[in-house]
Structure 1
Amino acid sequence: MKKYIIIGSIVLLSFILIGVGYSYYIYHAIEKTVDKMQITFEEPGQNELVKTEETQDVLTFLLLGIGDRPQIGDAGRADSIIVASVNPKAKKVLMFNIPRDSRVEIVGKNKMDKINHAYAYGGIEMTKKTVERFLNQPIDYVLQTNMEGLTQLVDVFGGIEVNNEFAFDQMDQYGKKNHHYDKGLIQLDGERALHYSRMRKSDPKGDLGRNERQRQVLTILLNKMASLSSVLKMEETLNIMGDNIKTNITFDKMKSFFLQFKRDWKEYQIQSEEIMGSNQTIHGVYYYHVPDKERERISALLKEHAALGAIGN
């Protein structure tokens, strides 16, 4: 289960960097980077989902991995949609992927479509609202990561070594270059790491297998970032983060999270779930169908997780 700590770790990435060294220069370099990453959302309306008094301390994060598209003017799609609910009182994290082809109501478009299309229609905000409607739960914080940023980060650290479960080939997004990956421990540069994390068609687990590889690569990068000792590499890393990550988590809030979690984060128990469904084709288009009962089950799990540690539970 340790590998599933990645989402909470990504949320705390900037806090870890702060903890590396409190020099005046580095502190303000991080602050400047976070300011560059900032996004804001509209004020919630009267019909928006709100927290109850019982769930005020529970933090819910939405991580979006955006895949770039070669077509001009294409905003991209949310290739990875991960929800993590952090309960500080119970020291537990509930985490799951929402399959990107899930057929859902796209909030603001009044139509049913693949959930990853919400980003193309209305960016981060429409995706956030669509996920909230799908789960019937509010989302506190969103982190959008550009998957192309992986290439730059991997190269900054001189490549990474991963343990590949099976051999496969993967073409680049332009269909021009083939990358072969042997089974076992393999060394990857930035470009190969990107395509390694994107492969799904040759994986018997499909999107689930790709999600695992993405978490694997990100976990290795996180460990490298956490051990940064070179100010030069830290500057390069911060610049890449500023160009490829967007979030509504403010610098002050990040500092607060760092102080809150730095001592006991390793004590947290991570529970991972999978959203079960079936393949469905409508008018020649493939979708992942999530039954209402399954959606209600996940929503109920979120509520139960949020109630843990409260008086009487």
Structure 2
Amino acid sequence: MRKRRIFISILVVLAVIITIAVSGYLTINSKLSKLKTTKISQSPSSLGINTEKFNTNDINNVEENYINILLLGVDKLNETNDTGRADSNIILTLDKVHKKIKLTSLMRDMLMNNVGSKAQDKLTHAYAYGGPELSLKVVNDNLQMNMKDFVKVDFVSFYKIVDAIGGVDLNVADSEIASINKYIKEVAVVEKKTPFYLTKGGMQKLNGMQALAYCRIRSVGNGDFERTQRQRAVLIEIFNKISSMNLSQISNMLDTVLPYVETSLSKKAILSYTSYALINNIKTVEQLRLPEDKTGYSTNRIIHGVFYLDWNREGNIADLHQFIFEGDLK
């Protein structure tokens, strides 16, 4: 299991987990009201959950001991009728048995079955066709998972988060400048803000738009794979900044961040999961990316002129279940 794709959505979710843990209950309960809460179906069939595989009466208490939530990062910059696509799909697992947090990144171009009205399509399109509920159903159905909740953010959320913590320090390559400035301009036009372009490479502090542009680079280096390295670098910097904040700064950050987060989780669930992680001092974070890099685990395919990432179902699903449930899912 290799450290791979960490998408924009996890930046928000883990920030929320960390900051909730260090503030008072009444303050947090009040701040959680700023979240946009969206109710979705809890019917297993509507969410693509195999009830024979995930039986609430199982002896290992899988449903209780392994909390799985789908994190969605949507490529949408403004309030239009366009739903946007979920370029970021991550399974967040709170493993109560082994006291860990696990992150499983799913590549956006994975070829999935039964995506809305289509027999097959890219994972990223599930959100465009049916929002978070269809994204949950597609991931559950194709990967034999049991998720019932989601957390979603978009590009605007991301850059505002970075600004809220005072920017991030990153080492920018000279070859990345042109692409970064192109994306800065795109966001600035939509947001009707003055763009601040980069003029040189090297270690420097990036503001929210600049950091977002840095994360979006695909044309420099090794495409999507190198882009994930940039996203991890930003993630680490965000954690470093949050860990050095005092309670007043954290409170102000939550006021900025939470209005841009949408979730199906209840306040009770958020507080329960967060307090569990705090009380048990959970600091271990493990990561996996699907499809894996193993020989035969993925294949590039062109269908009607469109690129898809096909994948070995049996091998990838077996490894995913072992990573998340560590043998407890029978």
User: Same fold judged by TM-score > 0.5?
Assistant: yes
Find out whether 1:281 has 2:263 as its counterpart. Answer: no
Residues 109/28 of structure 1: CA separation in 2 closer, same or farther (3 Å cut): same
User: What RMSD in Å do the two structures reach over aligned CA positions?
Assistant: 3.4
Give the aligned partner of residue 98 of structure 1.
106
- Please list every run of 5 or more consecutive structure 1 residues that lacks an aligned counterpart in the other structure: none
| Secondary structure class of the residue paired with 1:137 | coil
Which one of the candidate residues 250, 253, 257 is aligned to 2:269?
A: 253
- Please list every run of 5 or more consecutive structure 2 residues that lacks an aligned counterpart in the other structure: 190-194, 293-297
Give the aligned partner of residue 208 of structure 1.
225
Give the aligned partner of residue 122 of structure 1.
130
Give the aligned partner of residue 62 of structure 1.
70
Give the aligned partner of residue 43 of structure 1.
42
Deviation at 1:252, TM superposition (A): 1.4
Residues 210/244 of structure 1: CA separation in 2 closer, same or farther (3 Å cut): farther
**Stretch moving more, 103-112 or 191-200:** 103-112
| Secondary structure class of the residue paired with 1:203 | coil
Deviation at 1:123, TM superposition (A): 0.8
Aligned length: 303
| Secondary structure class of the residue paired with 2:33 | helix
Alpha-carbon distance in structure 2 between the residues aligned to 1:229 and 1:104: 44
**Stretch moving more, 69-78 or 140-149:** 69-78
Alpha-carbon distance in structure 2 between the residues aligned to 1:154 and 1:217: 9
Residues 95/12 of structure 1: CA separation in 2 closer, same or farther (3 Å cut): closer
| Secondary structure class of the residue paired with 1:148 | helix
Residues 140/243 of structure 1: CA separation in 2 closer, same or farther (3 Å cut): same
Alpha-carbon distance in structure 2 between the residues aligned to 1:184 and 1:235: 32
Residues 122/256 of structure 1: CA separation in 2 closer, same or farther (3 Å cut): same
Find out whether 1:239 has 2:238 as its counterpart. Answer: no
Alpha-carbon distance in structure 2 between the residues aligned to 1:179 and 1:275: 36
Give the aligned partner of residue 295 of structure 2.
none
Output the TM-score relative to the length of structure 1. 0.81
Alpha-carbon distance in structure 2 between the residues aligned to 1:10 and 1:259: 18
Deviation at 1:135, TM superposition (A): 0.6
Give the aligned partner of residue 31 of structure 1.
32
Deviation at 1:108, TM superposition (A): 2.8
Alpha-carbon distance in structure 2 between the residues aligned to 1:8 and 1:154: 13
Percent of residue pairs identical: 25
Q: Is the 8 A contact 2:169 2:204 kept in 1?
A: yes
Alpha-carbon distance in structure 1 between the residues aligned to 2:85 and 2:95: 29
Which one of the candidate residues 3, 12, 19 is aligned to 1:17?
A: 19
Give the aligned partner of residue 216 of structure 2.
198
Alpha-carbon distance in structure 2 between the residues aligned to 1:105 and 1:240: 38
Residues 144/9 of structure 1: CA separation in 2 closer, same or farther (3 Å cut): closer
Deviation at 1:255, TM superposition (A): 1.8
Deviation at 1:149, TM superposition (A): 1.5
Alpha-carbon distance in structure 2 between the residues aligned to 1:185 and 1:236: 27
The one-letter amino acid of 1:42's match is: S
Output the TM-score relative to the length of structure 2. 0.78
Find out whether 1:302 has 2:320 as its counterpart. Answer: yes
**Stretch moving more, 122-131 or 170-179:** 170-179
